[in-house]
Amino acid sequence: MASPTAVLLDLDRTLIDLQSFTDYGAALDDVRSLVGSWQDVQVPDTDWDRATVACMSVLHAFLDDPRWGDISDAIAAHERVAIAQSELMPTVADARLTLASIPTAVVTLLPADVAIAVLDYHDLEIGREIDFVVGRDPRVKPKPEPDGVLEACRLLEVSPEDSVMIGDSTWDAQAALAAGTAFVGVPAAGFDTAVRTQIGTADTLVQALTEVGLRE
């Protein structure tokens, strides 16, 4: 692809690993105490653990339910606690200047306030490396739907076709492809053969940015 005019980034395990330190099992217990049982919705395969998938899935299941905000808040309480243990992903520090030089948005399944807090904790600033954050919001259908990608492009005033998204999961890939945006999966080993026929892959964020022509 030609060098993109904007970069869209997943956050968790693409820029920062928060997921590994979040107790999604406890979060799921809190959700059950709020709503009891629910009917699962079909979501893409991923290498996330079962509790993480369940927490993200329940947000899909209750998207049009007035309890969605309470569910999101219950999960977010555990995500917020994990910020102090979270870790910057490999080569992200080396990519700071590149990210600061091009319109960049984060599209994440985390709430925007949690995303901004964890970015700030690792010295990735809104208005410097990151221009906008599109977080989980009942008005924007979450990944793997394309709505967050399209909203990020709208905020950046770029077309999806002129952008590239970088992420770590099939949810990210499906959202980008459905929006008409090129996608690079990082790390490459995290994507199965069927998905890899439709996307680019790289081992690190710096390699991904290099492959799309944003670094020499």
Q: What is the pLDDT of residue 88?
A: 98
Decide: 180 and 8 in contact? Cβ < 8 Å: no
Region 189-196: mean pLDDT is: 80
Q: Is the pLDDT of residue 121 over 90?
A: yes
Confidence of residue 196 (pLDDT cuts 50, 70, 90): confident
Residue 188: both structure tokens together: 């490459």
Average pLDDT over the chain reads 95
**Residues of the chain above pLDDT 70, percent:** 99
pLDDT tens digits for range 39-54:
888 888 888 999 999 9
pTM of the model: 0.95
Strand order in the sheet with 6-9: 132-134, 104-107, 6-9, 163-167, 182-185, 200-201
Q: What is the pLDDT of residue 22?
A: 98
**What's the CA gap between 5 and 2, in Å, rounded?**
9
Q: What is the pLDDT of residue 58?
A: 95
Q: What is the pLDDT of residue 192?
A: 75
- Domains annotated on the chain, with CATH: 6-18+87-211 (3.40.50.1000), 19-84 (no CATH)
pLDDT tens digits for range 8-32:
999 999 999 999 999 999 999 999 9
**Residues of the chain above pLDDT 90, percent:** 88
SS3 151: helix
Confidence of residue 1 (pLDDT cuts 50, 70, 90): low
Q: What is the pLDDT of residue 40?
A: 84
Is residue 126 exposed (0-12), middle (13-18) or buried (19+ Cβ within 10 Å)?
A: middle
pLDDT tens digits for range 150-178:
999 999 999 999 999 999 999 999 999 99
Decide: 35 and 71 in contact? Cβ < 8 Å: yes
pLDDT tens digits for range 95-110:
999 999 999 999 999 9
